[in-house]
Amino acid sequence: MNLYAVAVRLWEERVAGLICAVLAVIAALLITFHFSLSPLSLRPRALQLGVAGTSVLVDGATSSLGTVHGDSKRFDNLAGDYAELMNSDPIIAPIARAIHKNPDEIGVQVQITSRVPLSQSQPLEPQVGTEILATRRHYYVVARVISGTQIVQLYAQAPSGRMAITMVRAAVASLQDYVRASERAAHVPRSDRIVIRPLGHIYGRTLNRHVSEEAAVLIVVLGWVLAMIAIITLRGQAWRASLKRTPAQPTRA
């Protein structure tokens, strides 16, 4: 069958083709997007993924950067302790409120690692990104501390980069609030208080921004093609069957 014959056959089935196209679009949207009526919204499913990261310094009221003193070991130990707190309600609950989710929907992982070269300690480093991608939760927080340092690295996973940034920002704020509240309750002198200092800006992005749209287009095309093949095949079989049932006309002498 040449292209002309195919075009003619498709034109004959134009009504069925239109119906199949509408059904394919609806199926693609339901598979690749979350549809909500209240409020009216269309959001990509878990096919789209965002990550974000930042680092904070566990420091004293007077910055310890560039100085060597006896409190350095104390700050190093506190960095590990504060990282362990990321899985506690005072820290995770504000993160959940910031993204309007239940705390149970957010996974948390704490990593205390040995010292690595500085070049491997960048935000969203590949190995952390791989670990986050390997999880099956839509919302995930990773707190990493390199032993012997005062730095806590915070990473987040969410359906979009913007939401991941919101999670990291809420994690930093909740950790700061927890430390301040704990020291006020213990009546720690202001000069001896611990300060959580953000290091740089929060970095985040959506890793596969258009994957849902691309998947939807692919589903529409494949769904329409397969549906039309099925319709044309069934119509052809029905036509051939009707010819076999039609009695042959008698020939005139």
pLDDT in tens, 176-230: 999 989 888 888 888 788 888 898 888 888 876 666 677 788 888 888 888 888 8
**Do 41 and 89 sit in the same domain of this protein?**
no
pLDDT (0 to 100) of residue 159: 83
pLDDT (0 to 100) of residue 146: 82
In a domain, 252, yes or no: no
In a domain, 143, yes or no: yes
**Do 10 and 35 sit in the same domain of this protein?**
yes
Choose between 247 and 8: higher pLDDT.
8
pTM over 0.75: no
In a domain, 251, yes or no: no
Containing structural domain, residue 36 = 3-45+211-243
**Do 202 and 219 sit in the same domain of this protein?**
no
pLDDT in tens, 47-105: 677 889 999 998 887 765 545 455 667 787 888 888 888 888 989 999 999 999 999 88
Contacts 24+ apart (CB under 8 A), 131-140: 132/51, 132/157, 133/49, 133/157, 133/207, 135/107, 137/105, 137/106, 137/107, 138/46, 138/105, 139/99, 139/101, 139/105, 139/106, 139/107, 139/167, 140/106, 140/107, 140/108, 140/109
pLDDT in tens, 124-150: 544 454 455 555 568 999 999 887 788
